[in-house]
């Protein structure tokens, strides 16, 4: 191996071979696909049991933050053990329950099922676009992380404020910003896996899952605002 190739591997491969990086990426895609099953089950159960009211208002915010951060902490603690995958799947079921309020609201539209499928297809399209870009971009994108993190913090603060303000314009702006930020996060997280910056497929799956779920729910919210048809 020549000196240039060695430097490239040290700079972008983080000391991992191409085979190791491909294994992490392959396992991440497998677990990410599997994680959609409990998400759908959780959303279906939440809608069927009418749990949307439980997750609304201030109580909903508290439940979401407590559950989400609790699960994320547990996932990081167990990611190197056999318990990591079940804990992650439990989190995705919880996120499905959290989504049930938005799903139930969307199903209240005459074209609700079509809106949900459109949001799903749009999210899948964003993911495949970001995956394609991540596979062809040679530049190191690790510097994006800090800026995206700041963007998420600003977005969270703005969203919490808007819950109490109740501004339709604010909701629209927050949703558009969220789609942009988490689409960029998809690119960043995928590039980290491809370059060897993320070596644990459970952590990688968690990051991508959060990107996907945020793009989906904000896209669905926008579709409901602009395309929802009342009976």
- Rounded distance, CA 213 to CA 218, Å? 9
The pLDDT, as a whole number, for residue 14 is: 59
- Rounded distance, CA 123 to CA 203, Å? 21
Instruction: Calculate the alpha carbon distances from 27 to 11, 18, 124, 205 in Å.
Output: 23, 14, 18, 9
- Rounded distance, CA 215 to CA 41, Å? 19
The pLDDT, as a whole number, for residue 12 is: 54
Domain boundaries along the sequence of the chain? 3-227
pTM above 0.85, yes or no: yes
The pLDDT, as a whole number, for residue 71 is: 95
- Rounded distance, CA 166 to CA 84, Å? 38
Residue 4 corresponds to which tokens in the numbers above?
Answer: 């240039």
The pLDDT, as a whole number, for residue 8 is: 41
Candidates 150, 223, 217, 159; CA nearest to 185 is 150
Q: Which residues of the chain have a pLDDT value below 70?
A: 1-15, 55-58, 231
The pLDDT, as a whole number, for residue 5 is: 38
């Amino acid at each position: 191996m020549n000196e240039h190739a060695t430097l490239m591997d040290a700079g972008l491969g983080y000391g991992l071979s191409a085979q190791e990086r491909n294994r992490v990426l392959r396992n991440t895609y497998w677990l990410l696909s599997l994680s959609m099953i409990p998400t759908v089950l959780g959303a279906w159960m939440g809608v069927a049991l009418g749990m949307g009211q439980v997750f609304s208002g201030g109580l909903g915010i508290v439940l979401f933050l407590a559950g989400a951060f609790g699960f994320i902490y547990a996932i990081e603690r167990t990611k190197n053990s056999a318990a990591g995958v079940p804990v992650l799947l439990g989190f995705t079921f919880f996120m499905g329950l959290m989504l049930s309020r938005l799903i139930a609201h969307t199903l209240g539209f005459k074209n609700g099922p079509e809106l949900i499928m459109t949001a799903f297809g749009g999210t899948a399209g964003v993911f495949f676009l970001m995956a394609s870009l991540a596979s062809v971009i040679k530049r190191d994108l690790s510097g994006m992380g800090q800026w995206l993190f700041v963007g998420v913090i600003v977005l969270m603060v703005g969203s919490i404020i808007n819950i109490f303000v109740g501004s339709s314009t604010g909701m629209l702006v927050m949703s558009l910003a969220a789609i942009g930020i988490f689409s960029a996060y998809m690119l960043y997280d995928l590039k980290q896996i491809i370059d060897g910056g993320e070596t644990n497929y459970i952590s990688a799956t968690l990051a991508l899952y959060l990107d996907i779920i945020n793009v989906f729910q904000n896209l669905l919210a926008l579709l409901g605002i602009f395309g929802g048809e009342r009976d």
